Structure 1
Amino acid sequence: MNGKVQPEEWVHFIERIVAEEQLIQASFSAPRRKEEDTPVKLTVRPIKLKNGLFYQFERHQSNKVFHENITPEQVGEQLQSVMEQYKQALFKITDADVQVLANKKGKLSLITHSKVSKRENIPQEHNRNKTYVLPEGEPVPFLFALGVMNAEGRVIKAKYDKFRQINRFLEMVSDVIPDLPRDKPLTIVDFGCGKSYLTFALYHLLAIKEKLPVRIIGLDLKQDVIETCSKLARELEWDNLTFSVGDISNFEGYTSVDMVVTLHACDTATDAALLKAIGWEASVILSVPCCQHELFRQISQPILKPLLKHGILKERFSALVTDAIRANLLELAGYRTQLLEFIDMEHTPKNILIRAVKARKTDLEEVKQEYVKFRDFLGVSPFMEKQ
C-alpha cells in the first residue's frame, strides 16, 4: 500500500494489524496543532499483563511521560483517533515498516517499506522487565522495617503485591515531581494514612532519593496505628515525617499545603480531603477513593431504571459517577485531572487513582455546563458542592 489512501482503507489497515496482532510499535510525532494537551510524541506497543494482551500508550508531554494501557478491543479506534492529532507516524509491523503522512487537509498517505527482516511480535512481559523506582534486590530500610523485604533486599513472597503497589504509587508521584514548588520546603499531608506503607515510601522518594526539603504529616483515626508509625519514623531518624491522630474534616493548623494524598478514605471523607486540598491550593492531589455510598442513595433517573434496579450494578455505577463528579469539580477548581489504574483489578475493585495538578486558569464554561447537565440528569447533590 503506497500513496494516498481513502478513509476506509486506513481503517482497514488498522483493523488488520490489530486483528492479526502484527503491530510491534507505532510512533506518532509532529503534532498538527500546538495545543497544551497534545503530547509531542506518542509511542504505542503491545505488552503482556497477567490478565492478557494490552497496548501501552506512552505519551511525552511537558517534560513528563504518561502511560495508559488499552485493550485490543479499544486500540483500533484509539489509533485512528490519535492520527488525527499528528502529521506523521511510523508503524512497525511484523513484515514491514509503514510510514503514515497527513497533509494540511488531513488526507493520509501510506508508504510501505517491505525490505525488512521478518520480525516476531512478542509483547513485552510488563512486570518481568519493569524497572521499579525501588528495585528488588537493593535493601531499603523502611521496607525491611515494614516486613516487605528481608535484610538482603529480597521481597517477601507474601508481600510482593504490596511491593508492586508501592512502586506503582511512586511512579505516579515521580510523574508530578516537576509540578511541585522548588522555591520553598514542601509540606505534604497524607489523610487516612493507615499503616503508612505509602507515606514512608513517599518520604523515601522525595527526601532520601530526590533530596528535596520536605515535611510529611500522616493523619489517621487509629491511635495504635499512629503510635507504631511514629515509632518507626523515630527509628529511621526521619525527623520531618510525623504522624497525628485526627479526623480529616477537623484538621487545622496549615494555611498552605503543597501535596495532599488520600488513599482509601471512606465515602465522603475523600471529598472532605479534596476540599481541604482545593482550599490550600495544593499543587498536587493524589486520591484513591474507597467505599462510596453518598450518591448511591441519591441517584434518581427513570431512563436508567434497567440499570439502577439491580443493586450491584447501581453500586458500581454510583462509584463511577462519584469519581467522575470529583474529577470534574477538581477541573473546575483549576486542576488538570486524570483518572488512572492504581493496581490490577484482580487485587481490588477500588483501583482508580485521581491525580490532579494545579494548572493555568482557562475558560471552563463549557466544562461547567457539561458537568451541570450530567449532575442534574442524575438528580444528585454532591458533598463537595454542599460544603
Structure 2
Amino acid sequence: MNQVIKLLEEIIFSDEIIYGVLSNLRKKDEDSFNKVTIKPVLIREEIKLQFAYEYKNKVLHKNLDASESIKEIENLLIQSFRQGVIFTREADYQILINKKGKASILKKKPTKEKADLSHNRKKSYIIEDGEAVDFLIRLGVMNENGKVVSKRYDKFRQINRFLEMVADVISKIDKDKTLNIIDFGCGKSYLTFALYYYLVNILGLDVNIIGLDLKEDVINFCNEVAIDLNYDRLKFVYGDIKDYEAFSNVDMVVTLHACDTATDAALVKAVNWEAEAILSVPCCQHEIYDKIDNVTLEPMLKHGIIKEKLASLVTDSLRANVLEILGYQVQLLEFVDMEHTPKNILIRAVKNNDKNNKEYIDKYMKFKEFWGLRDLYIEKELGERLESQLNK
C-alpha cells in the first residue's frame, strides 16, 4: 500500500483530486455501504474532501481534511473495497487490490476537468442542488431529478442556512446517546424535516424529534409525510408549548417563528430541561411594546413603527441576556427571512454552565432600568431559577 499512499499524498496535498470512487466490496453486507464517492468541497474558505457513503436506502457524508482523507481512503481500501478510481486533471488512476491485499496502480488519460471552487458557492451547501433528497422532493422544493424548483430556491437557501447553524452547535453536544429534540411551532416543517435528514441520513445520529404545533391539519399532513419517507423517529404532535411534558429531558430545542411570548415559553422549557442547545427565531414581540419607557428616547418612541422595531430588538436582547445569566453561551445571528415575516434574528445558545455570571446580571438589571421594564413574562415563568441568580 506504500505506493498508493504516496500517490494519494501527491494528489490530495496538492489539491489535484477532482473526484474519486471506491467500489467492488470485498464482502457484501445488507447493513453496510456499497460504494464511497469523494469530491472536494469549499467550506468556510477551506477545501475539504467530502466522503459520501452510499447505503441501500441512505447516503451518509463526512468532510475531512487532507491528512484525514488519505487515512480514510487507505482504511477503506484495506478493509472494504478492491478497487478505487481517482480522477485528476493530469490523469485517472485506477487502484486495484488483489485477494492477498497487494495493490497495483494503472495510470490512464484524464477524463474529467477540475471544478473551480472559488466561485462555486453551492459546494459549501450541506444539501446541494442536483442531489435528489426525498423530503425536498415530497415538499415540492426539488423535482424528481434533484433540481431545485426555481420558485423555491429561497426556501432551499433558508434550509441550508439553518443546517449550517445546526452544524455549528451539534459538535458541542454529547452525541453518544439518543438525542431528544423538540421543534416548537414547527408549522409546515420544512426545517424540521431538514433537521431530521441532516442528523440521521447525513450524520448517522440516533435521535427522537418531535414537531409541535397548534394547527391540527398541518400536524396530520406532516405525520403523513414522515410515514411516507420512513422517518420513523420523527413525530408531529398537536399541542401548546406550555403544556408539553412528554420528555423529561431534551437535548436541543428549536423554535422558529413562535409569536410573542410563545418564544419565551419555549425558552423557559429549554432552560428547565437544561437543553444543551437552543435555536430560536422569534417573531411578533408585543409584550414590552406598551412597557418600554424612556424620556430621553421619546422622539423615537412616539412613532409606532420605530417603537415596534425597538421593542423587538430590546426583547431579543433581554432573552439573550437571561440565557447568559443561566449558563448559556449566546449569539444573535442573521437568519434568512422567514416566509411570512421580516424577522431574521436567530438566537443560538449552547449550554456551558458558566457560573461566573455577575457581569451578565449587572448588565441585565441596568438594561431593564434604562427601558423602564418590569414584570416580564420570561422572569415570571422562570421563577426561582432566575430569581435566585438575580438576587446574588
- CA gap of 1:345–1:256, structure 2 versus 1, over 3 A, is closer
Deviates more, 1:327-336 or 1:129-138: 129-138
1:284 aligned onto 2:304: no
Unpaired runs of 5+ in structure 1? 1-42, 45-123
1:383 aligned onto 2:377: yes
CA-CA distance at 1:344 after TM superposition: 5.6
CA-CA distance at 1:345 after TM superposition: 9.6
CA-CA distance at 1:346 after TM superposition: 11
CA-CA distance at 1:301 after TM superposition: 1.1
Tell me the secondary structure at the aligned position of residue 265 of structure 1.
strand
CA-CA distance at 1:362 after TM superposition: 3.2
Question: Which of the numbers 206, 210, 214 marks the counterpart of 2:203?
Answer: 210
2:255 matched to which residue of 1?
A: 262
Q: Distance in 2 between matches of 1:347 and 1:275?
A: 25
1:131 matched to which residue of 2?
A: 124
Q: Distance in 1 between matches of 2:373 and 2:230?
A: 48
Deviates more, 1:128-137 or 1:292-301: 128-137
- CA gap of 1:347–1:269, structure 2 versus 1, over 3 A, is closer
1:171 aligned onto 2:164: yes
CA-CA distance at 1:288 after TM superposition: 0.2
Listed one character per residue, the Cα deviations across residues 307-334 of structure 1 (whole Å, up to 9, x for unaligned) are 1011110000000000000000000110
1:364 aligned onto 2:357: yes
Q: Distance in 2 between matches of 1:310 and 1:184?
A: 51
Q: Distance in 2 between matches of 1:314 and 1:241?
A: 40
- CA gap of 1:344–1:197, structure 2 versus 1, over 3 A, is closer
1:158 aligned onto 2:124: no
Q: Distance in 1 between matches of 2:297 and 2:176?
A: 51
1:304 aligned onto 2:297: yes
1:243 matched to which residue of 2?
A: 236
Tell me the secondary structure at the aligned position of residue 224 of structure 1.
helix
Listed one character per residue, the Cα deviations across residues 99-118 of structure 1 (whole Å, up to 9, x for unaligned) are xxxxxxxxxxxxxxxxxxxx
Deviates more, 1:336-345 or 1:232-241: 336-345
Q: Distance in 1 between matches of 2:353 and 2:317?
A: 21
1:234 matched to which residue of 2?
A: 227
1:333 aligned onto 2:326: yes
Moved over 3 A (4+): 127-130, 344-348
Please say which structure displays the higher CA radius of gyration: 2
CA-CA distance at 1:149 after TM superposition: 0.1
CA RMSD of aligned residues (A): 2.0
Unpaired runs of 5+ in structure 2? 1-43, 46-117, 382-392
1:294 matched to which residue of 2?
A: 287
CA-CA distance at 1:128 after TM superposition: 4.3
Tell me the secondary structure at the aligned position of residue 349 of structure 2.
strand
Q: Distance in 2 between matches of 1:282 and 1:256?
A: 7
Q: Distance in 1 between matches of 2:356 and 2:155?
A: 41
1:37-52 matched pairs, under 5 angstroms: none
2:110 matched to which residue of 1?
A: none
CA-CA distance at 1:182 after TM superposition: 2.2
Q: Distance in 2 between matches of 1:171 and 1:385?
A: 31
TM-score by structure 1 length?
A: 0.66
2:7 matched to which residue of 1?
A: none
Q: Distance in 1 between matches of 2:246 and 2:210?
A: 12
2:9 matched to which residue of 1?
A: none
Q: Percent identity?
A: 59
